[in-house]
Structure 1
């Protein structure tokens, strides 16, 4: 970029730096700031650009070309698109994949001070957003909190947890590089962010933080050949993943033992009050090993419920599920009949839990990880026995992935096109006679790699995967440790979510991918072997 511009604070370089800072600060807060910052960056780049210089720098840089190739693949996907309004909106959302690498790669690199300042501003913004969430959690605002994930009021809790994870590893990187007098601040902030992930109950973020932390420690020890007891540390680190695996296996084992130990209730005809029970003996749905749709006395249950709660039994709980379903699942989990006596046996806290959408008494007392693993076990059991995943996250993903596989098999070479994803999913659900109800027939795969393959075919998927791998192949990564932490966070998130199919997730990826690859240092001279050196 040509740096000739008005002197002072409005120099093109300062405006460029301001745009980067505004984008870093806006990510955890505001779609408006995210969009505004990119408009500023693009306008400044266009006004200041020496086009011959930009052309030479961009087209002479294979890494920059490969980074924007993903967006080009989506543009090519317009050729066989029929739903152009959907396609244009999708391309608009994905525009950062084009403009951010283009702008940052063709602008003079940041100084070390500028680069670190952007990272610190991002950490400060994430920290501020977490403080707001803590205030919301403490009920100091009028915002209603049903689930801990509701405390992320600005963006999706999943995307927010990714940013918290990245902030942790930015702090770890700065902790190593900065002077000793500041390191205690970094340590406190890292501990706070890790605590916040548990407060948010963001399992994706917790798993990612654990995996990335383990990987960074492993590579640090592996590359530090002067470390005393290095082989012992390596052995312990290689052994470390076995511990959570054993813990999860034990939770699953205890869950299955508890289920198998249940003694089926004798099927009775009448309640103690003379009302008839409804039984659905062919419905295999269970809760804690007991059949859900046995011993249900609806009228009796409704009358008793209205004496205990102000929320109608025919309405929805605070998570949006049918309250009647939540209620009978909760009663079943305690081994109670779904009648007046069963409901009156519940405590006031249990009534509130049902209103809040908790469907199993175990989830009130078990720790977060145990409750989540048991919930997944229940989802898979129900999916296996009934074939219907309902709206439950893991089993729903399996059904959506099955549907996406059907679409890919029908369009392996060209995909369905950039704009026809929604139509393709709707048709596939009908053709497959999917058990999903209309509200759960989603048109997003919740897996970024599958989403790419559906839209722009297997070839497009190969382009996407190659764009992720090429920075390591090229060895042009100014700060390998920093980039590895970001890369691993994003890569894991793409397995569980279609991270690039919404504006926040896509901008988060495009911004930090471009900043960490092109924002610092002599890009041509910063060669490495692709492995993490002892120094970061």
Structure 2
């Protein structure tokens, strides 16, 4: 009996390492590295040398993703900066370690394969719940700060949520006859938690990726049906799935650009207390449609604010923002004049918001609302196109990073700048173009495909795409709907960020890519 149990335990080491890896993804970067090493170690430990040739022939497609790591090695011939070259190699070790582990490891059963998917999905749910509890226990003042909470970067985690939602939906539909009412309720609850968390976490990349993935999934499902009625319903649902988000975006943009009507001749010159107002008509900044630099009495603002707060008017808050400007913008957002009366009209909650660097009362919402994130995105773009200043504005900085990438690609179209040289290439562009970006804000493009083009040129990008999609085509695993939609998530998500240039993003993708491709025993 003991011998049998030992054999059972040993035979499951690789599987247990895979379970640990799946659990690590939404929780710990360090644990991802450890479990990745364990995955390779257990594959070598359980290596069947007698069956090695047969195993290699069955799984030789895993050599293709390993080829991506070798692209980084080959392009070292262009390297001038070995510090960042070694950084690139470390960040992309997943392309070497994980395919090698699945190439050499024991075959997983279909049950084990499904268990890994389910364990991962529930780990994502647990990570979401812990993040929510942590946020509300900290009594944070703005929903925009939600992105700073969690174990992983919000974009990487949002893509994990998207994939988990697909796993749960597939489980619910495929196993609906086998699941009892309690199991179905638990899955529906998990789906509700993840969708709510995705909106609460304010990750536009994850939300847009999910919407596009749903659109493709529904389109594929509806038009597989031969019934004309189903096709008509499908077309209606698909059109609606595009129109509803578009209508909400139109509403948000229209609401932002609905400004107060100003008659210069009717602007009050004096406050209630008889002090003179300042009206700067050249500055067009607005908050909720109200002009920021009209009806400003600096003297009254300072006196009245200093009565209400220990954080003085002409000082910086804990985030490095000037209290004066945060106060003026906040008053404008509430359509209050920037004088003593305006400050007196603020509630204690408003004062606390201003002290915490919140410049618009809408951004103090800590409920389930996507509008604050959309508002900030519109404000960032509006401010950027008016001033050319992208610093500390996420969306505007992405535009500057993209401009830099296109310029670098234009000069290095075929072969790129080489492994590790991208850091200097970006810095040289910002300096030579007299960019308004502060040196500490210099960064690389938030788009995986442009990122590859910068490093490896068109030739490198084509090779990488070939190494990724050729195994999918040859193995015919694209017929697995879940795998196909997983690829859609990653393809779309990589337009919004360079996910494969991060430790979590590359490991998340390569692990499940290999899991889908690996042969399963019955």
Q: Using structure 1 for the length normalisation, give the TM-score.
A: 0.85
Question: Corresponding residue for 1:167?
Answer: 164
**SS of residue paired to 1:229:** helix
CA distance in 2 between counterparts of 1:216 and 1:270 reads 61
Question: Corresponding residue for 1:193?
Answer: 194
Question: Corresponding residue for 2:425?
Answer: 424
Shift of 1:217: 2.4
Question: Corresponding residue for 1:224?
Answer: 225
5 Å-filtered alignment, 1:481-520, equals 481-518=481-518, 520=520
Question: Corresponding residue for 2:98?
Answer: 100
Is the contact made by 1:126 and 1:164 (CA closer than 8 Å) also made in structure 2?
A: yes
**CA deviation profile, 1:26-47 (whole Å, cap 9, x unmatched):** 1111122111111111222334
CA distance in 2 between counterparts of 1:136 and 1:228 reads 50
Question: Corresponding residue for 1:114?
Answer: 112
| Cα 1:195/1:312, change in 2 over 3 Å | same
CA distance in 1 between counterparts of 2:146 and 2:453 reads 30
CA distance in 2 between counterparts of 1:518 and 1:313 reads 62
CA distance in 1 between counterparts of 2:470 and 2:464 reads 10
Question: Corresponding residue for 1:330?
Answer: 330
Shift of 1:475: 5.1
CA distance in 1 between counterparts of 2:54 and 2:320 reads 55
CA distance in 1 between counterparts of 2:61 and 2:235 reads 36
Corresponding pairs, count? 512
Shift of 1:322: 4.1
Question: Corresponding residue for 1:301?
Answer: 301
Higher mean alpha-carbon deviation, 393-402 vs 361-370, is at 361-370
| Cα 1:60/1:19, change in 2 over 3 Å | closer
Is the contact made by 2:64 and 2:471 (CA closer than 8 Å) also made in structure 1?
A: no
**SS of residue paired to 2:80:** coil
**SS of residue paired to 2:477:** coil
| Cα 1:303/1:71, change in 2 over 3 Å | farther
**CA deviation profile, 1:152-203 (whole Å, cap 9, x unmatched):** 3322222222222211111112222321424333222212221222333333
Shift of 1:511: 0.9
CA distance in 1 between counterparts of 2:476 and 2:320 reads 48
**CA deviation profile, 1:21-75 (whole Å, cap 9, x unmatched):** 1100111111221111111112223344357965775578664233222222112
5 Å-filtered alignment, 1:52-63, equals 58=56, 63=61
**SS of residue paired to 2:244:** helix
Shift of 1:18: 1.2
Is the contact made by 1:284 and 1:291 (CA closer than 8 Å) also made in structure 2?
A: yes
5 Å-filtered alignment, 1:288-367, equals 288-293=288-293, 296-298=296-298, 300-314=300-314, 316-317=316-317, 321-363=321-363
| Cα 1:8/1:472, change in 2 over 3 Å | closer
Shift of 1:516: 1.5
**CA deviation profile, 1:396-448 (whole Å, cap 9, x unmatched):** 2111111221222222233222212222222211111111223322x231111
**CA deviation profile, 1:250-287 (whole Å, cap 9, x unmatched):** 3323433x127455686777766676766765544443
**SS of residue paired to 2:419:** coil
Higher mean alpha-carbon deviation, 166-175 vs 149-158, is at 149-158
Is the contact made by 2:304 and 2:343 (CA closer than 8 Å) also made in structure 1?
A: yes
Question: Corresponding residue for 2:208?
Answer: 207
**CA deviation profile, 1:362-386 (whole Å, cap 9, x unmatched):** 4457983333333332222222211
RMSD of aligned Cα (Å): 3.2
In the alignment, does 2:21 pair up with 1:20? no
* 1:152 aligned residue (139, 149, 152): 149
| Cα 1:337/1:233, change in 2 over 3 Å | same
CA distance in 1 between counterparts of 2:25 and 2:174 reads 25
| Cα 1:439/1:114, change in 2 over 3 Å | same
| Cα 1:349/1:472, change in 2 over 3 Å | same
CA distance in 1 between counterparts of 2:463 and 2:521 reads 27
| Cα 1:478/1:411, change in 2 over 3 Å | closer
Higher mean alpha-carbon deviation, 368-377 vs 496-505, is at 368-377
Is the contact made by 2:166 and 2:482 (CA closer than 8 Å) also made in structure 1?
A: yes
Is the contact made by 1:413 and 1:458 (CA closer than 8 Å) also made in structure 2?
A: yes
Shift of 1:111: 0.6
Question: Corresponding residue for 2:124?
Answer: 126
Question: Corresponding residue for 1:525?
Answer: none
Is the contact made by 1:105 and 1:519 (CA closer than 8 Å) also made in structure 2?
A: no
**CA deviation profile, 1:56-101 (whole Å, cap 9, x unmatched):** 7557866423322222211222111122122112211210112212
CA distance in 1 between counterparts of 2:187 and 2:515 reads 22
Question: Corresponding residue for 2:62?
Answer: 64
Question: Corresponding residue for 1:234?
Answer: 234
| Cα 1:480/1:145, change in 2 over 3 Å | farther
| Cα 1:390/1:485, change in 2 over 3 Å | same
CA distance in 2 between counterparts of 1:320 and 1:474 reads 55
Is the contact made by 2:478 and 2:484 (CA closer than 8 Å) also made in structure 1?
A: no
Q: Using structure 2 for the length normalisation, give the TM-score.
A: 0.87
